[in-house]
Chains A and B, each alone.
Chain A
């Protein structure tokens, strides 16, 4: 059985995006750009199912 570490790398990238988007969201809120805040928040929410899909694919490959 050969493990693939590609999903792990992808998940780490997702987590990095999460951090970036969260900080952007908070800063845009305090800069009173509320539309940008909402866009960043939606992006953060969308990243979670993406991470879940990556996890599912990564597990199935090796089982």
Chain B
């Protein structure tokens, strides 16, 4: 009987001899097809947010609406002159420039470098930030000289009944 207890049952050095894996790691045809269907499901789910944001853009939820605001009367601003105003908030200073008889442009006049006010240089015909001599194109608001790298935010204007109104702010595009 001493012999019975003093015996190593299996001539193996592992303890998993009774686990039958049964080819569970083998990728057969059916498993492969299941994977493909799952991948198609992942694609379907991942395209949902894109559709959602596209629908949001189409409906126009991304555009902010501000009440239109009178800037000045047409008679009060000669061609080539500028007038300061505030839009859309009372702390968002902005500048309106009359380029020709019927062409008005308006920008938020905080310089995109360090937010100094931007001034209209009538003689040079460009917008100048005096802090670091940043310059902006008056037609588009794009930076043309100096440290600023981003355009001035444009304000949409509309002429109605002999007065100029600010109606909206152009959406920022990086």
Using a CB–CB cutoff of 8 Å, the interface residues on chain A facing chain B are 3, 5, 7-8, 11-12, 14-15, 18-19, 21-22, 25-26, 29, 32, 34-35, 37-38, 40-42, 44-45, 47-48, 50-52, 54-55, 58-59
Contacts and interface: CB of A to CB of B under 8 A. Distances in A.
Interface in B47-83: 47-48, 50-51, 53-55, 57-58
A25 B54 CA distance: 10
Nearest to B43: A18
A8 B54 contact: no
Interface stretch (B26-34, B112-120, B151-159): B26-34
B29 A5 contact: yes
Given A8-B32, A48-B43, A55 B37 contact: yes
Q: How large is the interface on B (under 10, 10 to 19, 20 to 34, 35 or more residues)?
A: 20 to 34
A35 B36 contact: no
B44 interface: yes
B145 interface: no
B54 A41 contact: yes
